[in-house]
């Protein structure tokens, strides 16, 4: 008997999304990986006030959605994000201080606080153009991967502005001082390969492999103990600005807290599987969470 052709993988893996927005697409896959997609391809995903409000809402909901275990942030079409929408965000709100203030709050909220505080791993998948304020969410994600051909730019200088919002601070978090300064004052672009070499992103891959390589990263993170990975990402960020004594105290408290919240008691189980069962080696793999 001839086998029936199987349905296309991408279709099978997705679940019908309950999230409906005008400028944002949420694709939830059955394995717990969620794509959150800036969806204004005809405007190169420039961030309008409405997009900011929708992203803020989506991230608030996905943070507590048990069907989302790893989040991948990307853009539809040929851009990741062309920065703030100069027409609707800057010019359009210039005479409406209330709407301007609301949009500014949503803009900072989702790109910094919600992404940084997201309780599950976040991956920025940089597929194309990314300028100005579009850099911020990449810095806020835990991991970033770019297409070799993605085009990055701290372009504010090119239109007589400064890297405001938090862009000037963001670039200093992940770039060397020399690179942050040069790209901010020259407005020159850099590609995905260069972004990986200067550690603005972790990895750069060919455009054709961007999605599959991003999914590999997501699947790797999915295997880890979710309580431990949450506490680890929070700890790695928090200790950056602490002195040694503060960090030691904070990490001791964080470790103790993890033992309380970890529903699968991973530390004990990991030690058991390594020391008693000898079924895995923690240096080169993850313990079996299904046992």
Contact residues toward ligand COA (CB under 6 A) are 43-44, 46, 79, 82-87, 129, 131-133, 155-156
Nearer to ligand COA, 129 or 190 (CB): 129
Nearer to ligand COA, 15 or 173 (CB): 173
- Distance set, CA 59 to CA 44, 97, 112, 185, 246 (Å): 21, 25, 11, 33, 31
**DSSP code string of 200-240:** SSSEEE-GGGHHHHHHHHHHHHHTS-HHHHHHHHHHHHHGG
- Asked if 150 and 190 touch (Cβ cutoff 8 Å), the reply is no
Instruction: Phi first, then psi: give them for residue 247, nearest 5 degrees.
Output: -65, -40
Instruction: Compute the least distance from the CB of residue 94 to ligand COA, in Å.
Output: 14
Instruction: Compute the least distance from the CB of residue 128 to ligand COA, in Å.
Output: 8
* Alpha-carbon span 199 to 214, nearest angstrom: 17
Instruction: Compute the least distance from the CB of residue 122 to ligand COA, in Å.
Output: 22
- Distance set, CA 6 to CA 12, 29, 211, 220 (Å): 9, 17, 21, 26
| Count of C-beta atoms within a 10 Å radius of residue 190 | 19
Instruction: Compute the least distance from the CB of residue 39 to ligand COA, in Å.
Output: 13
Both tokens of 159, joined, read 């239109």
* Alpha-carbon span 127 to 207, nearest angstrom: 7
Instruction: Compute the least distance from the CB of residue 167 to ligand COA, in Å.
Output: 8
Instruction: Compute the least distance from the CB of residue 180 to ligand COA, in Å.
Output: 16
3-class secondary structure, 69: coil
């Amino acid at each position: 008997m001839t086998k029936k052709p199987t349905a296309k993988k991408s279709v099978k893996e997705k679940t019908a999304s309950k999230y409906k927005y005008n400028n944002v697409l949420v694709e939830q896959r059955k394995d717990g990986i969620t794509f959150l997609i800036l969806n204004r391809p005809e405007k190169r995903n420039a961030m309008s006030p409405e997009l900011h409000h929708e992203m803020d809402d989506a991230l608030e909901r996905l943070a507590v959605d048990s069907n989302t275990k790893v989040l991948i942030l990307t853009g539809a079409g040929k851009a990741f994000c062309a920065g703030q929408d100069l027409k609707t965000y800057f010019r359009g709100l210039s005479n409406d201080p209330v709407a301007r203030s609301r949009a500014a709050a949503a803009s900072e909220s989702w790109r910094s606080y919600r992404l940084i505080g997201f309780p599950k791993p976040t991956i920025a998948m940089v597929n194309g153009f990314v300028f100005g304020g579009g850099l911020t969410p990449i810095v806020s994600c835990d991991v970033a991967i770019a297409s070799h051909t993605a085009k990055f730019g701290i372009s504010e200088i090119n239109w007589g502005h400064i890297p405001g919002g938090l862009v000037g601070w963001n670039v200093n978090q992940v770039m060397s001082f020399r690179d942050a300064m040069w790209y901010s004052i020259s407005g020159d672009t850099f590609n995905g390969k260069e972004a990986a070499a200067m550690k603005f992103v972790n990895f750069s891959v060919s455009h054709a492999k961007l999605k599959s390589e991003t999914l590999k990263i997501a699947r790797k993170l999915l295997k880890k103990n979710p309580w431990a990975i949450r506490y680890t990402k929070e700890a790695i960020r928090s200790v950056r600005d602490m002195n040694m004594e503060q960090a030691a105290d904070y990490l001791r408290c964080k470790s103790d807290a993890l033992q309380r919240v970890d529903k699968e008691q991973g530390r004990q189980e990991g030690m058991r599987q390594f020391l008693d069962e000898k079924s895995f080696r923690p240096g080169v793999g993850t313990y079996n969470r299904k046992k």
